[in-house]
Amino acid sequence: MYLAKKPDKADPNEARLSRFTCCALSGEPLAAPAVMDRLGNLFNKEALVEALIHKRLPKALSHIRGLKDMIPIHLHPKPNAADQEVRFQCPVTGFEFNGKSQFLALRGCGHVLSVKALKEVKSSSCLVCHKEFDETDKMPINGTEEEVEVLRQRMEEERGKLKEKKDKKLANGLSGSKHAAAAAVADAEKLESGKKGEAAPAKRFKAADHAPAHANKKVYASIFTSSNKSDFRETYSCRSLPLGRN
């Protein structure tokens, strides 16, 4: 009897090469524009956008909620490699982007560099664009299980902080609305009470009514008002004279 043929095992070298040269979603060769998720997986942006729109992401990629979870990356092309399987390399060391060397992406600018390049050139700025970065900006591409776990924990922490900040902002917004409503009610009540407490218009009085007992009312009133009109009559012969003189 013949033994049943066992299924061929996947070549680990081929699997490794595929992770660095192909989109983790479509399996197509990596091409610009390319993106990386928070766990170090590589994608062609177009394929990922289409999957997000049609909600076709596999369960293994459920941590991707939208393009905000992706980091645009810049892969340095390898000279004269248009028809080759490996088409990218480190812009500093020239190491091929094939999985044999460790690579990482800088989250701030998206440039992809070999780990060796950053070890040899001690710098806190990108070796390509010179943008400043810190250790948390270094994201391993297709890293080890331990590296992926660190990235996952960091991702969850960042999401937790973002949610906390959003909830706090929402709570402050509601609190502010309540204060504004209370202030509006208080102002309305104050205005209403002010209207009720307004004094009636002051009555007008004549100065003559308040003249001293022995004073001439007409003379006393003339001190405060000009209501007492002159009996002077203007005539043709005196028109040029100052008014009030006789």
Residues 220-239 pLDDT 10s: 566 656 545 555 555 555 55
Residues of the domain holding 148: 144-179
Query: Considering the chain, what percentage of its residues have pLDDT values greater than 90?
Result: 57
Angstrom distance (rounded) from CA 197 to CA 87 = 85
- Residues contacting 29, CB < 8 A, separation 6+: 21, 22, 23, 87
Cβ(104)–Cβ(115) under 8 Å?
Answer: yes
- Higher pLDDT, residue 165 or 205: 165
Q: Tell whether 130 and 65 lie within a shared domain.
A: yes
Domain boundary among 160, 179, 198: 179
Residue 112: CB atoms within 10 A of its CB come to: 23
The pair of three-digit structure tokens given for residue 145, joined into one six-digit string: 């299980």
Angstrom distance (rounded) from CA 126 to CA 108 = 9
The pair of three-digit structure tokens given for residue 192, joined into one six-digit string: 């209403």
- Give the residue-averaged pLDDT of 80-105: 92
pLDDT per residue as tens digits for the range 3-24: 455 556 668 889 999 999 999 9
Residue 133: CB atoms within 10 A of its CB come to: 17
Q: What does residue 35 show for φ and ψ, rounded to 5 degrees?
A: -135, 165
- Higher pLDDT, residue 26 or 203: 26
CATH number at residue 129: 3.30.40.10
pLDDT per residue as tens digits for the range 155-183: 999 999 988 888 888 888 756 666 666 66
Angstrom distance (rounded) from CA 30 to CA 156 = 27
3-state DSSP assignment of residue 35: strand
pLDDT per residue as tens digits for the range 30-58: 999 999 999 999 999 999 999 999 999 99
Q: Model-level pTM greater than 0.85?
A: no
Q: Is 220 exposed, middle or buried (0-12, 13-18, 19+ CB in 10 A)?
A: middle
The confidence score (pLDDT) of residue 196 equals 57
Q: Tell whether 170 and 77 lie within a shared domain.
A: no
Is 60 exceeded by the pLDDT of residue 207?
no
Q: Tell whether 16 and 119 lie within a shared domain.
A: yes
The confidence score (pLDDT) of residue 3 equals 46
- Give the residue-averaged pLDDT of 46-71: 94
The reply to whether 102 falls in a domain is: yes
- Domain total for the chain? 2
